[in-house]
Structure 1
Amino acid sequence: MSNVFILNGHQPSDFTKGELNKSLVERAERLLSAEGHQVRHTAIASGYDVNAEADNYVWADVVVLQFPVNWMGVPWSFKKYMDEVYTVGGYDGRLSNGDGRTAEKPKENYGLGGTRADTKYMLSATLNAPRDAFDNPQDGFFKGLSLDELLAPVHYTMKFFGMTALPTFAAHDVAKNPEVESDFARFDAHLKAHF
């Protein structure tokens, strides 16, 4: 069994209270704990200790990043979390030993200094865009872009620390055409398939 750290990156607002993201975190915690995994989770909106958070990444075999896609990226509070936690953990060696370059080879190996090579991560996103808007060259907005391509900055951040991606989960069209029970069933199946 593995150590699983789940991060809830939702930022509550007048428009979204974060119930779906919270429910997905609770489902993951319940399901994974029942399977024998050790689980910790943090809700960014409830506050966090920067050093304790960096330690969670060292402890974890798998990190689950649960968040809504806001304006084509992570919520502002999640980005602030990244800036604080990842910078501390990156500078002190918990997440990386610098950026991978050396004085002898200052132009080589950028991004390859990560110390978490034995850690996997999974993105789990909620978003208002419908599923058919992605991987569809006929779509007028994304023009064939995949969700993982849209979330490339998050993927590259995890890659910077040496982590390996598990397949991404997404709940689409959550504001205008929600299918919550179907999303829950797909989420449970996704977790069972990849843990």
Structure 2
Amino acid sequence: MKNVLVINAHEEFEFSKGGLNRTMTDIAVEHLQQSGYETQVTTMKDDWAIDAEIEKHIWADAVVLQSPVNWMGVPWSFKKYMDLVYTYGGDGRLYTGDGRTRQDPSKQYGSGGTLNGKKYMISLTFNAPRESFGDPNQVFFEGKTADDLFWPMHLTFRFMAMEPLPTFVAYDVMKNPDIEADLAKYREHLAEVFPKQA
């Protein structure tokens, strides 16, 4: 991997100005550049253009999605980004339809991606505490993990034939934050997932 697109999916609200996701985006870019990677950044506050964003995905060897968890998913502005960029990328640049053909019934749904060999990493900030995940005794998530919750996002990248890198999660960032510890763990995660270029 050499080229990395970093997407900050945060949508600003009065109670959540986006400082943590902005900081984590900056930390990712700083680490990547200091480790020998080329970077491009898109934020939902940018005046982005559909074709330019498609080209960024083609350019990138990996995409880092930095996102808060809003109502168990990504913010609405990033959903709009996906609906536009990823839909129009279905002209063969990001995928060629859903992969099935009438000529070859063995082709399965979701096999039309054209970004083979490219990776993606999801980094999330949650209000939910760590202990609410992966424990079947926790009623709300019923033992599911953060990756289980974000399965639709994983499938979105898989639809384009991208492969996952380990997910990072900062938990309990609003009610019981330990931001310095979270940022230290994030730096360690980035160093493992994106080691220095030889």
Establish whether TM, by shorter chain, passes 0.5: yes
- 2:126 maps to what in 1? 127
- 2:18 maps to what in 1? 18
CA shift for structure 1 position 107: 7.6
**Aligned pair 1:40/2:30, yes or no?**
no
Please give the secondary structure, in 2, of the residue aligned with 1:64: strand
The 5 A counterparts of 1:6-85 are: 6-85=6-85
The answer for unaligned runs of 5 or more in structure 2 is none
- 1:117 maps to what in 2? 116
**Aligned pair 1:93/2:92, yes or no?**
yes
Q: Which amino acid aligns with 1:30?
A: E
Please give the secondary structure, in 2, of the residue aligned with 1:104: coil
CA shift for structure 1 position 143: 1.3
Report the Cα distance in structure 2 between the residues aligned to 1:94 and 1:24, rounded to whole angstroms: 29
CA shift for structure 1 position 47: 2.4
Q: Which amino acid aligns with 2:111?
A: L
CA shift for structure 1 position 160: 0.2
- 1:156 maps to what in 2? 155
Q: Which amino acid aligns with 2:12?
A: P
Structure 1 residue ranges (4+ consecutive) displaced by more than 6 angstroms after TM superposition: none
CA shift for structure 1 position 105: 3.8
TM-score when scaled to structure 2? 0.95
CA shift for structure 1 position 94: 1.1
- 2:135 maps to what in 1? 136
Report the Cα distance in structure 1 between the residues aligned to 2:183 and 2:65, rounded to whole angstroms: 16
- 2:183 maps to what in 1? 184
Q: Which amino acid aligns with 1:76?
A: W
- 1:168 maps to what in 2? 167
TM-score when scaled to structure 1? 0.97
Q: Which amino acid aligns with 2:122?
A: L
Report the Cα distance in structure 2 between the residues aligned to 1:128 and 1:45, rounded to whole angstroms: 22
Q: Which amino acid aligns with 2:159?
A: F
Report the Cα distance in structure 1 between the residues aligned to 2:5 and 2:87, rounded to whole angstroms: 18
Please give the secondary structure, in 1, of the residue aligned with 2:10: coil
Report the Cα distance in structure 1 between the residues aligned to 2:17 and 2:106, rounded to whole angstroms: 45
**Aligned pair 1:193/2:192, yes or no?**
yes
Aligned residues: 194
Please give the secondary structure, in 2, of the residue aligned with 1:45: coil
Deviations 1:75-126 (A, max 9, x none): 0001000000001112x21110111000224584100000011100000000
- 1:146 maps to what in 2? 145
- RMSD (Å) for aligned C-alpha atoms: 1.1
